Amino acid sequence: EADIYQTPRYLVIGTGKKITLECSQTMGHDKMYWYQQDPGMELHLIHYSYGVNSTEKGDLSSESTVSRIRTEHFPLTLESARPSHTSQYLCASSPTRDRAYEQYFGPGTRLTVT
Amino acid sequence: GQQLNQSPQSMFIQEGEDVSMNCTSSSIFNTWLWYKQDPGEGPVLLIALYKAGELTSNGRLTAQFGITRKDSFLNISASIPSDVGIYFCAGRTKTSYDKVIFGPGTSLSVIP
């Protein structure tokens, strides 16, 4: 069973607020990812990281930012939340070598911006 | 860009029936992955495939890496109510590097 955690699980917040979604994994994985997913729809990669101090933008443009100061921690920040940011945000990690493309997902954060 | 197509988009079956779904692309894939997502949860990895023609089982689930490298199949035998969810295929091509491309999903409903 994958050990990857996301908090909060649910968040309802007003427009203009700054929010940080937390993601932590205890598997020692170097690679971590953030996906955005609308209910029942496909996953869109918004950020990824190969390791500490490495961050890259994904295929879907996002106004969020990420940081990777520690291997186990990959938080995502929205400086000013808008209703268009309402979605589910999924964090994932994968090992570097063996089975490097097998991504393990957290439970997700469902964000609603009013 | 590279895209994955999944069919069927949704299916309703009776408990005990077998299920087949597939994933296709116009690009050649080096890795195929199958995930299941329950409502309100993150996807869970079911099966990973690494070689053309490879057939791998995980309990009642069996997946195959298509011989053309452009498709993959997932079968579920003797379905049960907890099989309900969305099944995503995902894969990696030579040019997607470390990124994995996800399909749009197949929604499975099981009627008791």
Judging contacts by C-beta atoms under 8 Å, the chain B residues touching residue A43 are 43, 88, 102
Dihedral sign computed on CA atoms, order B44, A22, A25, A58: positive
CB contact under 8 A, B41 and A107: yes
Residue B106 has pLDDT above 70, yes or no: yes
C-alpha span between A24 and A32 (Å, rounded): 10
Residue A22 tokens, joined? 């937390």
Q: With bands split at pLDDT 50, 70 and 90, how would you rate the model's confidence at A43? A: very high
- Cα separation of B31 and B48, whole Å? 7
Tell me the HSE value of A84 on the side-chain side, using a 13 A CA sphere: 5
pLDDT value at B2 more than 70: no
Tell me what pLDDT residue A49 has.
95
* Inter-CA distances, A53 with A34, A35, A79, B70, Å: 16, 19, 20, 35
pLDDT category, B3, cuts 50, 70, 90?
Answer: confident
Question: Residue B104: is the preceding peptide bond cis (ω within 30°)?
Answer: no
Q: Give the separation between CA A42 and CA B87, rounded to whole angstroms.
A: 10
Q: Note the pLDDT of residue B28.
A: 93
Helix (H, G, I), strand (E, B) or coil at A84: helix
Strand order in the sheet with B5-7: B5-7, B19-24, B71-76, B61-65, B55-58
CA atoms in the 13 A half-sphere facing the CB of A21: 30
Question: Which residues, listed in sequence order, are joined to residue B62 by a DSSP beta bridge?
Answer: B57, B75
Burial of residue B98 (CB within 10 Å: 0-12, 13-18, 19+) is: middle
Q: What is the pLDDT of residues B34-67, one digit of tens each?
A: 999 998 899 999 999 999 999 999 999 999 999 9
Residues in chain A within 8 Å Cβ distance of B104? 41-42
CB contact under 8 A, B105 and A40: yes
